Amino acid sequence: MFERFTEKARRVIFFARYEAAVLGASYIDHSHLLLGLLREDKGLFSKLVHDNDLLKNAAELMGLKPSGDKVSTSVDLPLTTEAKRVLVFAAEEAESMGDPHVGTGHVLLGLLREPGAARDLLAARGLELTGVRKVVAEKERAPLVTPTNRQIVDSLRTDFRAAMAKRLNPELEPAVGYSLLAETAK
């Protein structure tokens, strides 16, 4: 199910399991997903919410309190139906945006689509689906190669070609060229 999820989105689920275990829950609920998201992607929330209470006291604000003993973090906790729907909604949001991967922003959109304490808390902080969708679309479509990065890549490409021309036979494997590039960069 999580093949399309980015590493950060997978860590959201990992942290959700951790939060559920600390609170003594025997399942991962959509509220735990919000706690995991807050832990993993503070940058996303800093763009959307200017209220530090959300980052510090989200569990308390949603009315989550430790219920009994902590559960071992090595125990596999099941997702509730609501949490599963959040993840399905996240995948749908990614697909509707044309993104091949499900990121943390898509998980946030999934949380905003699922009724419950997490959505209520987010709505109370001014987050609504349409506005967040715009921010997520901009974030997910940000170019991986910025102009500065492009200059670095072009410089490395030029250095690599020069190293290849000076030191290599055309019959050598490309891996040798890459190691030579690393040597010339030192």
What is the reported pLDDT for 22? 87
Least confident of 29-33, 64-68, 97-101, 114-118: 64-68
What CA–CA distances, in Å, run from 65 to 19, 35, 58, 62, 103? 11, 13, 11, 9, 28
List all residues 6 or more positions away from 50 whose beta carbon is below 8 Å from its beta carbon.
none
Tens of pLDDT, residues 43-100: 888 888 876 666 677 777 787 777 777 777 667 889 999 999 999 999 999 999 999 9
Has this prediction a pTM greater than 0.85? Answer: no
- Return the domain boundaries, the chain: 7-140, 147-185
Alpha-carbon distance of 102 to 30, in angstroms, equals 17
Separation of alpha carbons 117 and 129, rounded Å: 15
Class of domain 7-140: mainly alpha
